Amino acid sequence: MNRLNETHDPQLKSWLASANVPACDFPIQNLPLAVFKRQKSAEDFRGGVAIGDQILDLRAAAAAGVFTGEAAAAVQAGAQDKLNALMAMGHAAWSAMRMALSRALREGASAQAALQACLVPQAEAQYDVPARIGDYTDFFTSIYHATNTGKQFRPDNPLLPNYKWVPIGYHGRASSIGVSGQQFRRPVGQTLPPGTTAPTLTACKRLDLELELGIFVGTGNELGEAVDITQAEEHVFGICLLNDWSARDIQGWEYQPLGPFLAKNFATTISPWIVTMEALAPYRVPFSRPADDPQPLPYLDSAANRQDGALDIQLQVGIQTPAMRAAGLQDASICRTSYRHAYWTVAQMLTHHTVTGCNLQPGDLFGSGTLSGPTLDQAGALIELTTGGKNPLTLSNGEQRTWLEDGDTVILRGWCEKAGAARIGFGECAGTVLPARSI
């Protein structure tokens, strides 16, 4: 699946100059997809492809008649108000469209004149959630996050015995998933304050972020039919950034015995751009387990998954406080890590999700779970970075944070880079905390 081809050539240049700028998130080797319209316009949302600082409007490109065959059908599907129809078409169609787009956007392409008229500046765009998300499942794939948080709740037994055997997840709330720029009210819920014996209804006092990736399902499977791990990635359309905001005080009171509920149903923010699995091919790395750990059961194991089932996606979290914003300061970085540290791969998540016969559908979304690395500066949540609020973080402007405060904006960023390959990025995933409603 998704081996290298001519679209990955690091020497490729686009006729659009902004796509050739070093460290650009969206060079011609990337070509991620989103749903957009011009800001403050009455236009319909439609699919678009990022190239440099522009968006190739797929509806306009389809009308331009530049593409033919399977690629043309895929572009037409991508021109709709959501990407579900394109997601349902499958890997062959996605790959055909990527190849056609790459060739049409390269230096010297005969399609330049026709497609230049189809560009919209990203600075003028308003984005929407890129798919109709029927179901959302959040996994728990970082053993470092699981261990760090487990130590706070179960010092003598931080990692539960099933963790190394099964990709753990829970079914989340699809209706509160919003696109980057999402603003949400601080959640209100039932908590049990320390030293008390009865809960109270109050605004969350321990609001946290979670650095995750979102995995969009492409083609689905029939009810009752499991997806073999050797076929799992054929069902994956692509990956975005995801912030699974978490109310830790609500979570601590409610999560036994059934797990997360109100602590995570009030907001989840995703980046607008979905980077396809094919675009990520150069950044695959081997998947392995420590020799002393249980190895995956046969249904979660394959030679291909061991060889290159992991992805080296670099990830970073920044916080911009109201004081920073007022002073014109950028966000302060609080952690950096890589998806390569995850204990379970994309293929394993999808395979395990369907082993019971669960039917996935185009546009379904998985969260990877908080992606923490092996050292504390690579932790993807404040509950780890501050040891449960005991050790405040000092930000670059001197402010401190144990938990998120009203007005704070959290910005996730992701990118891939290595020698011999073009750097590609995911853009940004930003969300802002508003004050709680009156109780």
Q: What pLDDT sits at residue 3?
A: 83
- Region of poorest pLDDT, from 8-17, 35-44, 253-262, 422-431: 253-262
- Other Cβ atoms less than 10 A from the Cβ of 67: the count is 22
Q: What pLDDT sits at residue 205?
A: 97
User: Residue 124 pLDDT more than 60?
Assistant: yes
- Phi, psi (deg, nearest 5) at residue 221: -140, 155
- Region of poorest pLDDT, from 28-37, 117-126, 150-159, 236-245: 150-159
- Phi, psi (deg, nearest 5) at residue 240: -130, 175
b/e per residue 5-17 (b: at least 16 CB within 10 A): eebbeeebebbbe
pLDDT digits (tens, 9 = 90+) for 157-170: 889 899 999 999 99
Residue with the two structure tokens 């996730």: 412
- The answer to whether 369 and 140 have CB atoms below 8 angstroms apart is yes
User: Residue 2 pLDDT more than 70?
Assistant: no
Q: What pLDDT sits at residue 1?
A: 54
- The answer to whether 49 and 273 have CB atoms below 8 angstroms apart is no
Task: Return the closest-CA partner of residue 61 out of 127, 122, 130, 112.
Answer: 112
Residues annotated as part of the active site: 145
pLDDT digits (tens, 9 = 90+) for 343-372: 999 999 999 999 999 999 999 999 999 999
**What DSSP line would sit under 153-174, residue for residue?**
H-TT--S-TTTTTS--EEE--S
* Mean of pLDDT values over 15-37: 97
pLDDT digits (tens, 9 = 90+) for 234-285: 999 999 999 999 999 999 999 888 888 999 999 999 999 999 999 999 999 9
C-alpha distances (whole Å) from 365 to each of 19, 136, 174 are 29, 5, 8
* Mean of pLDDT values over 291-312: 97
Note the pTM of the prediction, 2 decimals.
0.97
Domains and CATH numbers, the chain: 6-128 (2.30.30.230), 136-434 (3.90.850.10)
pLDDT digits (tens, 9 = 90+) for 128-155: 999 999 999 999 999 999 999 988 878 8
